[in-house]
């Protein structure tokens, strides 16, 4: 997968009232389309990608049916990271970090800001190795203007 594309898709494509789940599906389609080709035995692929199951935990303030821009605007930045799975494979996590705003992006007063708060909104898994996971993470960072 080429992460140095000349046409840089903008995160604005996700500011159309789409839900977190819909943005996850769109990202999965982009990553799948870009990783096609080559020998199927050596092709890098994500086994799964989408809205994090962590969003469904009881007591979580956000869900995958929330509008993406409303959730995204509450946080200062997007983090994309790679971790090794407990059993096998590597995971790519997309996390919104440092909750400091409201749904319109207005900065909260310091007493209400939660700089320690973050939420993993998307997860992906690959069996193509750590290097492939980092390439997927880099591409996601570009797509989401992280």
Tokens at 68, concatenated: 């993406």
Domain ranges (residues) in the chain: 24-37+46-143
With beta carbons less than 8 A apart as the criterion, state whether 89 and 137 touch. Answer: no
Exposure of 14 by Cβ count < 10 A (0-12 exposed, 13-18 middle, 19+ buried)?
A: buried
Could you read off the pLDDT tens digit of each residue along the chain, which spans 146 residues? 454 444 444 555 666 788 999 999 988 888 888 777 655 666 677 788 888 877 777 667 788 888 888 888 888 889 999 999 887 899 999 998 887 776 666 777 766 666 667 888 899 999 888 998 999 999 999 998 87
Q: Whole-model pTM?
A: 0.78
Q: Where are the beta strands (DSSP E) in 1-143?
A: 46-51, 75-84, 90-99, 114-126
Pairing of strands 90-99, 114-126: antiparallel
Residues 6+ apart with CB under 8 A from 14: 23, 26, 68, 69, 72, 144
């Amino acid at each position: 997968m080429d992460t140095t594309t000349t046409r840089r898709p903008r995160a604005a494509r996700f500011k159309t009232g789409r839900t977190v789940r819909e943005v996850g599906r769109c990202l999965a389609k982009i990553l799948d389309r870009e990783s096609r080709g080559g020998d199927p035995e050596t092709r890098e692929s994500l086994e799964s990608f989408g809205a994090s199951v962590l969003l469904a935990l009881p007591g979580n303030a956000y869900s995958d049916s929330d509008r993406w821009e409303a959730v995204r605007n509450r946080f200062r930045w997007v983090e994309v990271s790679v971790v090794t799975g407990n059993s096998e494979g590597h995971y790519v996590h997309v996390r919104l970090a440092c909750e400091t705003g409201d749904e319109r992006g207005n900065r909260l007063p310091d007493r209400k800001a939660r700089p320690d708060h973050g939420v993993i909104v998307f997860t992906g898994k690959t069996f193509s190795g750590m290097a492939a996971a980092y390439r997927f993470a880099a591409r996601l960072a570009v797509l989401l203007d992280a």
